[in-house]
């Protein structure tokens, strides 16, 4: 999802869903609804975690992954080079 929409949009969507499902967990009227909303909250939280993890890994050591996953750009020399993944 983050590759298609972008990391920021993916992160914001996951955060918004986590907030919505967190509120729904708090106001759930029955145990089955609670379990369902808790599952959805966990999925949204996993989306937040994974988006932040990928962002952190791709920005480590001054390297940013470009649109093509085969080239990276070094922030110091601004030259494209093959990514070591």
Please report, in angstroms and rounded to a whole number, the separation of the first and last CA atoms in the chain.
20
Q: What is the pTM of this model?
A: 0.63
Instruction: Write down the pLDDT at residue 30.
Output: 95
Query: pLDDT under 50 in the chain at which residues?
Result: none
Tokens of 58: 């791709």
Q: What is the pLDDT of residue 8?
A: 84
Q: Which domain holds residue 49?
A: 2-82
32-48 tens-digit pLDDT: 999 999 999 999 999 88
What 3-state class would DSSP assign to 72? strand
Number of domains composing the chain? 1
């Amino acid at each position: 999802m983050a590759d298609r929409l972008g990391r920021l949009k993916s992160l914001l969507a996951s955060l918004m869903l986590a907030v919505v499902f967190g509120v729904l967990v708090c106001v759930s009227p029955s145990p089955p609804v609670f379990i369902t909303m808790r599952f959805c909250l966990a999925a949204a939280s996993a989306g937040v975690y994974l988006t932040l993890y990928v962002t952190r890994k791709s920005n480590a050591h001054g390297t940013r992954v470009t649109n093509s996953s085969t080239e990276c750009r070094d922030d110091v020399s601004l030259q494209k080079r093959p990514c070591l993944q």
